Structure 1
Amino acid sequence: MKIAFRASPRPRAQGALKELSGRYGQTPAAEADFIVAIGGDGTALEALHEALAMPAMPAKPVFAMRTDSSTGILCNSLRTHDLTERLQAASSEELPVLQAEIEQVGGRSRELFAINEIVLERQVFQQAKLSVAVRGNGDPMNINGDGLVLTTPIGSTGYNRTLGGPLLPLGSSLMAVTGKAIGCPPAWSPIVLCDHSILDVEVIEAAHRPVQIATTSETVLNISRARLFRSPDRTVTLLVDREAQGRLGTPFGRQC
């Protein structure tokens, strides 16, 4: 069994990395069977993004372990023994990937992928002015505010929740669109969409009210429009043991 270890820079994670790599070896990620991340949800997401960026499909599975000082829901408990047995017994959770097709001011095109959320937000003091439309579902809506967040079920417990967004059941075919300080229209509320929906966003007065788009791994400045949707051909795999399954099931429930 070939394992690629990744760890946060914190002392506890680095100590566990040294012990685990000494016991099980350290394999380059491209050659590994598993990626094991040590830290918290941030480290787990970094490992999932690393797996997503590799040319091999399906993406390599990630087994994350949480140190005592870390928080979140993506990680299993940290132990430095019986790792191979835990990897073999773990259940696979296939997580959807969000995709953004972006055009920047000036015409350059870009593409981003995200596991938990994609955030569109103002770059300057002035509010962003956005024209937002769900393809095939009525006319566009113009909104003024700090921005928008599109989230997956696994991402809905994080930043989305701090903005008052809905909690989506893990395993559901849903996405949520949550506003950031939306001032107009004043009746704006979060939207829950089926995960085959396509969200088109155009930045109004993009040169004077610049907007950026961000994921946990990358930020693109000065966008003029973006098309956001669930990637039709990309997923990532998170490995969870029995203890973590119980923890995931509590906040999310199970719904297809």
Structure 2
Amino acid sequence: MDQPEAIGRRAVKTEKLAFLASDTEEAQQALDQLSTRYGNVPPKEADVIVALGGDGLMLQTLHAYMGTGKPIYGMNRGSVGFLMNEYREDDLPERLQEADITPIHPLCMEVVDQAGYGHVARAINEVSMLRQTSQAARLKISVDDRVRLEELICDGVLVATPAGSTAYNLSAHGPILPISAQLLALTPISAFRPRRWRGALLPNHAKVDIEVLDPHKRPVSATADHTEIRHVAKVSIHEDSNVEGLMMFDSDHGWDERILTEMFRY
């Protein structure tokens, strides 16, 4: 059995910082202030990339620099910031040196649409499939080439990573996963039949195949984070262990603490 990847402190240079910001006034002000104070180099030259905004910007930045080996540290200047650290201007290089680094692997979504064309996209949070019309979707779900559900009638279904388990997955009543868990959450969205099916926890090496039954009458879209493919016929989802992104969290409020806080929220 594979061992969990190491999560913790690593030696990180902090001499060259690249700041990226969302378009909000709050984020742009932070960009000006931090760039003046610490300098701002192009991301390709940076030791650390600092993302200023919300979770959406963090996901975009992770996608853009996945596989480059550059750690990304987010500071919350947006409306949602579960993936972000608290915004503070002081002592930023020291915070970065003390931060914990969490390696993550994206999901790979392989789609065949109704016209027979193939599409590939990656997701850090989740791959979701949703009905496109007023009629519920009819889906057949297989795990590692074995059919597990002959027919799921629902609004949709999603496969979430631990990093994405607190996002759409949580809103759909899926389980929260610790970041080091070698698991994926398979979660139905408004399941009608079987009504009592609440989803499944899968090992992260599992391959999930979802076939759309009656795709012309009941069309379905598939989305990997921000990439949407419409009128899909079948989707295959697996973790891409060959690609790695690096997220940084303050050591006094790391991912495990955030997960525990969310679990006990009422």
> Is 1:107 paired with 2:121?
no
> Is 1:173 paired with 2:197?
no
User: How far does residue 145 in structure 1 lie from its aligned partner after superposition?
Assistant: 1.1
Counterpart in the other structure of 2:126? 117
User: How far does residue 249 in structure 1 lie from its aligned partner after superposition?
Assistant: 5.4
**Paired residues of 2:141 and 2:147 also in contact (CA < 8 A):** no
User: How far does residue 61 in structure 1 lie from its aligned partner after superposition?
Assistant: 1.0
**Paired residues of 1:76 and 1:243 also in contact (CA < 8 A):** no
**Structure 1, unaligned runs of 5 or more:** none
Deviation per CA, 1:170-215, whole angstroms, max 9, x where unpaired?
2000001111111112222111101011100111122222111113
Counterpart in the other structure of 2:11? none
Q: Secondary structure at the match of 1:130?
A: strand
Counterpart in the other structure of 1:60? 70
After TM superposition, list the pairs within 5 Å mapping 1:35-74 onto structure 2.
35-52=49-66, 57-67=67-77, 70-74=79-83
Give the structure-1-normalised TM-score: 0.90
User: How far does residue 105 in structure 1 lie from its aligned partner after superposition?
Assistant: 1.2
Distance in structure 2 (CA, Å) of the matches to 1:216 and 1:73: 16
Counterpart in the other structure of 2:92? 83
Deviation per CA, 1:126-172, whole angstroms, max 9, x where unpaired?
11111111115455421111110110112111211111111112200
One-letter amino acid of the counterpart of residue 247, structure 1: E
Counterpart in the other structure of 1:23? 37
* Partner residue of 1:32 out of 46, 51, 63: 46
Q: 1:249 to 1:206 in 2, by over 3 A?
A: closer
Q: 1:166 to 1:131 in 2, by over 3 A?
A: same
Counterpart in the other structure of 2:107? 98
Q: 1:136 to 1:251 in 2, by over 3 A?
A: farther
Q: Is the deviation greater in 26-35 or in 107-116?
A: 26-35
* Partner residue of 1:154 out of 163, 175, 182: 163
Q: Is the deviation greater in 237-246 or in 222-231?
A: 237-246
**Paired residues of 2:109 and 2:224 also in contact (CA < 8 A):** no
One-letter amino acid of the counterpart of residue 44, structure 1: M
One-letter amino acid of the counterpart of residue 199, structure 2: P
RMSD across aligned positions (CA) = 1.9
One-letter amino acid of the counterpart of residue 123, structure 1: Q
The percentage of aligned residue pairs carrying the same residue is 33
After TM superposition, list the pairs within 5 Å mapping 1:220-239 onto structure 2.
220-239=229-248
Q: Give the 4+ runs in structure 1 shifted more than 6 A.
A: none
Deviation per CA, 1:201-253, whole angstroms, max 9, x where unpaired?
11112222211111332111111111001112112110111232163353479
One-letter amino acid of the counterpart of residue 10, structure 1: T
**Paired residues of 1:134 and 1:140 also in contact (CA < 8 A):** no
Distance in structure 2 (CA, Å) of the matches to 1:26 and 1:150: 37
* Partner residue of 1:163 out of 165, 172, 196: 172
Q: Paired residues, what number?
A: 248
**Paired residues of 2:105 and 2:241 also in contact (CA < 8 A):** no
**Paired residues of 1:105 and 1:222 also in contact (CA < 8 A):** yes
Give the structure-2-normalised TM-score: 0.86
Distance in structure 2 (CA, Å) of the matches to 1:126 and 1:75: 37
Counterpart in the other structure of 2:258? 248
